[in-house]
Amino acid sequence: MAKAKPAENEYEDIPGTFVFNAERSREGYGINMFCMSLMKDENRKAFKADEAGYLKKFTLTPDQTDAILKRDYNRMLELGGNIYFTAKLGATDGHSFRHLAAVMTGSTQEDYAAMMLAGGRSVEGNRSKSGNDAPAKKAAAKKAAPKTSAKPGSKAKSKSSAKKRK
Amino acid sequence: MAKIIAGLASSHVPAIGAAIDNKQTEDPYWKRVFSGFEKTKEWMAKVNPDVVIGIYNDHASAFSVEIIPTFALGCAAEFPPADEGWGPRPVPIVKGHPKLASHIATSAILDGFDLTIVNKMEVDHGLTVPLNLAFGSPTEWPCPVIPLAVNVVQYPPPTGKRCFDLGRAIRKAVASYPEDLRVVVFGTGGMSHQISGPRAGLINSKFDKSFLDRLTKDPKGLAAMPHLEYMREAGAEGIELVMWHVMRGALDDHVREVYRFYTVPASNTAVGNIILENVGKTGKKPAAKKKAKTANKTAKKGLRKAA
Ligand SMILES: [Fe+2]
């Protein structure tokens, strides 16, 4: 097998994405356990009554506390929060996943909803921070090829991109 | 003997559950999604399985960051719906099949899969939304459901190959269960979506369609796809698609695609649904049982030949 093993954090090259790995999980343990506590109605009430006071019950860095109080969802993810957990904070504020997604992308709710209805955010140009958008080129080339070649085409794609990334 | 007769894969978008619970299924936005599952419900009613094995992931409902089992098999008699921050979904309690579940656990563990056995677990939208999509909204689910929760929240999830092989182990376990049961396996989650960070909203229909094609025709090749490719191409949360390989691994090599549905979007997510039958089965229950036995043998022979 010629396939190169990807570096452990190769996914850090994906733009606009914080992959929730073991390191982030360790760092963000307090954020996520705080969010988990919001599964209980009495805790939601206690938090809403005194947010900063409630947060003192958890092991959080000043940055993490600040991100939570400011509802800076991207910063929470960066500091080890996970979306399925931070969504519970969103729910406590009465917000859905889609609402939070719009907030994290910096769009208005209307613009985000319109983008989704129009088919969502394209992957083209959104694969790689380092400009290694090789699969995009391959995929574009694939477009011209007959449909039956989709299978071998995508295989070749992953091989060549693995090579390039090495 | 028990037998897996078919597999069904479906997205499990929480907003679909909310639309059902808030009676919005007739709204044009949601009708587009639900109308695609009418055929699925018809098929399900016709097939009328004795047991469903539901492969899904927990979304910080039953498992927080305190315990993160890679594969957790629900062996309990009952699994209540979880409160996901909006109160528990008003859906029936999921009734398990403790005997078959324990049999699967024993068989799979001895086969090399160190499953976590769970005797108390609440189940979230990951399991209950696909049950709605397949069965509608009855007062009781029509058959027992064995939940298998897969970690796709903290990286790394199990590999596609490991998921596929677990499907194989489940298939073997089911085939050695002495009671005559017709089993359908659900693979859930996906398709392309990202709900976190500035890249949220990513959808890749080309990827999804190729995934659906290859699931039927090139399952082993598809299961070899590295995690990075899911996350890059199908969004950070698109990695949920690895769970579909458990379902596919539980089926025969050769399957018939009986139905497919795909639409964008439901909330943040591309919705996919596919039904795959092991070749040479279904029909009415009693007849199918006899037929299924011979079909199983033939399929096994076919497998041996292939190997
Ligand atoms: Fe999910």
Round to whole Å and give the CA distance between B86 and B88: 7
- Distance (Å) from CA B12 to ligand 1 centroid: 6
B97 is catalytic: no
State whether A85 and B218 contact (CB < 8 Å): no
Closest CA to B196 of A103, A67, A36: A103
State whether A6 and B196 contact (CB < 8 Å): no
Select the residue from B56, B86, B232 to test the A interface by mutation, using most A Cβ atoms within 10 A: B232
Provide the token pair at A44: 């939601």
Q: Which residue is closest to A115 within chain B, CA to CA?
A: B201
Q: What are the pLDDT digits (tens) for A72-81?
A: 999 999 999 9
Burial class (CB in 10 A: 0-12, 13-18, 19+), B130: buried
Average pLDDT over residues A118-139: 79
Q: Where are the domains of chain A?
A: 10-95
Q: Which residue is closest to A96 within chain B, CA to CA?
A: B15
Round to whole Å and give the CA distance between B243 and B150: 7
Provide the token pair at A163: 């090579």
State whether A17 and B237 contact (CB < 8 Å): no
B8 vs A26, A95, A127, CA distance in Å?
36, 31, 30
Residues of A within 8 A of B64 (CB-CB) are: 32-33, 36, 85
State whether B231 and A11 contact (CB < 8 Å): yes
Provide the token pair at B75: 């062996």
Q: What are the pLDDT digits (tens) for B210-258?
A: 999 999 999 999 999 999 999 999 999 999 999 999 999 999 999 999 9
Dihedral angle computed from the Cα positions of residues A13, A17, A19 and A23, in that order, rounded to the nearest 10 degrees = 80
State whether A158 and B226 contact (CB < 8 Å): yes
* Average confidence score pLDDT of chain A: 82
Closest CA to B265 of B188, B190, B211, B187: B190
pTM higher than 0.95 for the full model? Answer: no
Residues of B within 8 A of A151 (CB-CB) are: 210, 213-214, 217-218, 221
Q: What are the pLDDT digits (tens) for B252-287?
A: 999 999 999 999 999 999 999 999 999 964 444 444
User: How many angstroms away from the CA of B104 is the closest CA of chain A?
Assistant: 29
B125 is catalytic: yes
- Distance (Å) from CA B238 to ligand 1 centroid: 9
A10-95 is classed CATH 1.10.1060.10? no
Q: What are the pLDDT digits (tens) for B27-80?
A: 999 999 999 999 999 999 999 999 999 999 999 999 999 999 999 999 999 999
| Cβ–Cβ under 8 Å, residues B277 and B46 | no
Give me the pLDDT at residue A5, please: 53
**Pairing status of strand B71-74 against strand B3-10:** unpaired
B3-306 is classed CATH 3.40.830.10? yes
Q: What are the pLDDT digits (tens) for B179-208?
A: 999 999 999 999 999 999 999 999 999 999
State whether A123 and B59 contact (CB < 8 Å): no
DSSP chain A: --PPPPPTTGGGGSTT-----HHHHHHTHHHHHHHHHTTSHHHHHHHHH-HHHHHTTS---HHHHHHHHHT-HHHHHHTT--HHHHHHHHHHTT--HHHHHHHHHT--HHHHHHHHHTT-B-STT-S-SSS--HHHHHHHHHHHS-GGGHHHHHHHHHHHHHHHH-
Quick check: A136 pLDDT over 90?
no
Round to whole Å and give the CA distance between B66 and B56: 19
Chain A contact for B85 (CB, 8 A cutoff): yes
